[in-house]
Structure 1
Amino acid sequence: MRILFIYPNLNHELIGYGDLGAIAEPLALEYLAASCVDLATEMELLDLRLHPNELNNRLTIFNPDVIAITGYSMHVMRIQEIAQLSRERLPSSKVVVGGHHATLLAEDFKIPEIDFIVVGEGTAPFAKLIKLFSDESENSSVPGVWKNTHSGWEFGGDQSELQLDQVAPPLRSLCIDDRSHYFIDWMKPIALMRTTVGCPYRCTFCSLWKMMDGYYYKREVDAVITELKEIKEPYVFLVDDEPFVNSKRMDVLADSIRESGIQKEYFSYCRIDTLLRNKSTLKKWVDIGLRRVFLGIEGITEDEIENYNKGLSIAQIEDGLKAARELGLKVFASFIVNPNYSKADFTRLSRFIERNRIDYPSFTILTPLPGTDDFIQQYDQITAWQSSHRPDWSKWDLQHLVVPSNLSPREFEKEYKNLRRNFRGAYEIHQRKAIAARDDLTLTI
């Protein structure tokens, strides 16, 4: 059985940070491949961000029996296009879709060209699907999978609880020829790694914690070390939603990395309050190679922080930024720009960033994401629609207004772009390093 895994590209470039600013390995697809390595005779991975014009050729030459596609909300319409093209070229192949959006809003993938939709953590149900295909018993149902039948879509029921340490490590060799091209800014080549799954916090704008029904799963330290030893890249991005919340575990992991003689440079997510509580743990990680932290600041007023349910204060945020500098960490800080912003609010945000000497500020527009209460409450206010009366998911890249704004759309866009002009010095350095990292790439988006 031949399986083709596809990671979609976007049909447009994100403002300042997208397919051209960072291309990270398709970790989810590598996990899927590892789950069925004993069931497939051949597997290939097509990363359309690197090879945007290769879809037709790969379908024709490889002639897969199964086509597996993943993606986020911003990829929905592109995934639909890929599924339709796959069906035209290979009508007997099975098309399977999964990922973040498929889990939270499977309805968008219930189209004739798609055969199965995997929801939730996909490794176990995908492996069961492949086993059924191999046994030619695909009429059986699989927990966690929607199946397209002659009588309509049928759901196989909920999955059993995730057993994280039973999940095989990602099959990184699947994209061996592409690995040197994966980067985040100047960190190249970079590998992604997860040591935990889920998040114990409940930020209103985020749906990631709902993906795992609010649970927080931790991998055994020995398993993490074993996988880390196999990673060839000098840079590693820890993609855990919140890895440092359990300081004792991260202390043990840092000690184990040191004892194992592993030499890497790390980039990781971290909450401000976690950093403040666990400065000694962060210091230990700095000593073994932690260089950058991604801090989700999001809001700069007490009202914003409260509305986002961040559980922080502005004083904590400023103390945390100072603590990060004292630890020698470079800060990649994210800020949410609310559609209700006035010109004064944009100015206030700029002054906050300047005052706190933030290395790399990152901006997203507050967007009602599937799975959040905002999505339910603001659905009727959405301004970006397809002719099919579904949201125009191509605008769900966190860089477009999709609900009404306080300023006119043109004024809002102007102010939003001006945020980068306000930090031209930092951004010029940032962009020069990012461009240098991708000099050997020629992309058509």
Structure 2
Amino acid sequence: MNILLIRPKPHKETIGLQHVMICEPLELEYLYSNIPCHLINKVKVHIIDMIIEKKSMDYFIKKYNPTLVAFTGYISHVNIIKNYAREIKFIKKDTYIAVGGVHAEVVPEDFLDDNIDFIIRANGIDTFNEIVESIVNNTSFNHIDGIYGPNKPVVKKMEFNYNFPNRKSVSKYRKHYYYMFHNPCSLIKTSFGCPYNCSFCFCKEITDGAYFKRPLSSVIDELKSIPEDEIYIVDDDFLADKNRIEDFCDRLEAENIKKNYLVYGRADFISSNEDLIRRFSSLGLRAVIVGIESFRETDLEKYNKKTNIHINERAIKILQKYDVETYATLILPLDYTKSDFKDLANWLIGLNLTFINLQPLTPLKGTAIYDDYKKDFIIDENEFEKWDLAHLVLRPKHLSIREFYMETIKTYYRVTMRPKNTMRLLKKYAFKENFKMFIGSSLVIMQYIKKVIRGV
């Protein structure tokens, strides 16, 4: 039987970073590589990346005549996936439709739909394989614990012992996968969950607050199997355990692994471990995504970040000292005035930052702050395509919606498009990569400009 694993294309309304990055669908590669041996000869699996594909869903359903179609996605994909499911059922009524991914695990009820047969709530790989086996053997699905059902208890595994993702399963797409200047880029995941408890964060909800790690021996073996030199470690926080990072560096040296790394890391870890950052940079650490969140202490306290402005500034200086790019993410509070935006830009310029990601405060469903803000939403909860951490979902206190978006655009331009930054990037990266980034960032800005024009 044919199985389609599909990554959906974002809705045109979603303000998408896919204009400056398209990463491989790692979760689908894991499903592909972990079909049980006794089922291998009974199924044929195809991964379809709709972000890259030009052909329609209708084309793929008619071409493969699938028995099972499985989707992965985030909150912004909910309506897209429901529409795809409706289209598939119209073409081939007896097709089973499954959906998984982080939003399906934390808020599965959002995917309830007559056209979706299975919402994978937990233990995605195992649950998917149980679904496949039940279809092949024509048996009941009632015994599958990881499928969502109202009031149905679920136990999530706190270990990850699976075959490495099959990256050849997306060989026809691989040349398109990149992350900004990391091109071509491959993903690897070495841990799950986060050891911290930021109030706005969705990551910790995925594992119900638990944090667990893969053995480094397995991680190193997987690294050695990856052909790309640019590696994006997609742990929610790779820089969380000093001893583990030291061990990782020891193994990179011992195995003579020469690759470049992009990781997530907290400012307090970086600030307290300069020697380790220096060593890691010599072994390929190329960039760190750091949630500095705000230039105001009161905001950091509210977000339960357990950091302060001094820690953030020291962390940025350490990364710059060892030529590690800082990708700084910030949350824009709704009480910002034009003066606050100006002060923010001046602070970021003073820190000599090049790459920033400005996100209006977004209380995602499933997080600790969701219920606190629910009464203040200015968009419908079911407009899932707007829950992209870029749209305003709460009304600004001192600025109009148009003004808030406009000040966001101006801050981006003031910080990222300074002549000094442009010249540095042209010297550091090839013209082709700079031009690609310019086009991509311009498309994102155009989406914001449409928001300004429409005022919604």
The aligned counterpart of 1:382 is: 377
Shift of 1:11: 2.2
| 2:116 aligned residue | 114
Task: Summarize deviations over 1:327-376 as a string: whole Å, max 9, x none.
Answer: 22111111111222111111111011011111211111111111112211
Name the aligned partner's letter for residue 32 of structure 1: L
Indicate yes or no: 2:395 matched with 1:393: no
- SS of the residue 1:411 aligns to: helix
Counterpart in the other structure of 1:161: 157
Please name the residue that 1:142 is paired with.
Answer: 144
Q: 1:405 pairs with 386, 396, 399, which one?
A: 396
Matched AA of 1:126: F
Counterpart of 2:100 in structure 1: which amino acid?
A: G
Q: Which moved more, 1:129-138 or 1:349-358?
A: 129-138
Q: Determine which of 88, 91, 94 is the counterpart of 2:93.
A: 91
Other-structure match for 1:46 = 48
Cross-structure match for 2:132: 130
Q: Which runs of 5+ in 1 are unaligned?
A: 147-152
Percent of aligned positions with the same letter in both sequences?
29
Q: Deviations over 1:197-221 (max 9, x none)?
A: 1100111111111111111111111
Question: 1:155 & 1:92 partners in 2: Cα distance?
Answer: 27
The 1-side partners of 2:333 and 2:14 are apart by 18
Is structure 2 residue 414 aligned with structure 1 residue 414? no
Partners of 1:203 and 1:12 in 2: CA distance: 30
Residues 103-161 of structure 1: per-residue CA shift (max 9 Å, x gap): 22212211100000011341121122212222211333211212xxxxxx556531353
Q: How many residues align?
A: 430
What residue in structure 2 maps to residue 6 of structure 1?
6
Structure 1 position 64 matched with structure 2 position 62: no
- Amino acid aligned to 2:134: L
Q: Which residue of 1 aligns with 2:213?
A: 218
CA shift in 2, pair 1:438/1:54, >3 Å: farther
Q: Residue 390 of structure 2 aligns to a residue in which SS?
A: coil
Q: Give unmatched runs, 5+ long, in structure 2.
A: 448-456
Deviation at 1:436, TM superposition (A): 3.3
Structure 1 range deviating more: 58-67 or 100-109: 100-109
Please tell me whether residue 19 in structure 1 is matched to residue 18 in structure 2.
yes
Q: Does the CA contact (< 8 Å) of 1:144 and 1:155 recur in 2?
A: no
Take 1:278 and 1:270, find their aligned partners in 2: how far apart are those partners? 12
SS in 1 for 2:295: coil
CA separation of 1:268 and 1:96: change in aligned 2, threshold 3 A: same
What secondary structure, in the 3-state scheme, does the structure 2 residue paired with 1:28 have?
helix
CA distance in 2, matches of 1:434, 1:51: 24
- 1:264, 1:4 → 2: CA distance? 32
Structure-1-length-normalised TM-score: 0.91
Q: Quick one: which amino acid aligns to residue 31 of structure 1?
A: Y
Matched residue, 1:150: none
The amino acid that maps onto 1:408 is S
Q: Sort the Cα spacing of 1:310 and 1:5 in 2 relative to 1 into closer, same or farther, 3 A.
A: same
Change (3 A) 1:26 1:358: same
1:333-412 matched pairs, under 5 angstroms: 333-385=328-380, 390-406=381-397, 407-412=399-404
- Whether the aligned pair in 1 keeps the contact of 2:330 and 2:356 (CA below 8 Å) is yes
- Matching residue's letter, 2:331: I
**Aligned equivalents of 1:437, 1:230: Cα separation in 2:** 29
Task: Indicate the larger mover: 356-365 or 296-305.
Answer: 356-365
- 2:251 pairs, out of 253, 256, 265, with 256
**TM-score (ref. length: structure 2):** 0.89
Paired with 1:413 and 1:297, the residues of 2 have a C-alpha distance of 21
Q: Structure 1, residues 389-420: CA drift from partner, whole Å, max 9, x if none?
A: x4311111111111111111111111111112
CA distance in 2, matches of 1:139, 1:391: 29
For residue 334 of structure 1, give the secondary structure of its aligned residue in structure 2.
strand
The 1-side partners of 2:388 and 2:192 are apart by: 23
**8 A Cα contact 1:21 1:434, kept in partner:** no
Aligned CA-pair RMSD? 2.2
Report the equivalent of 2:315.
320
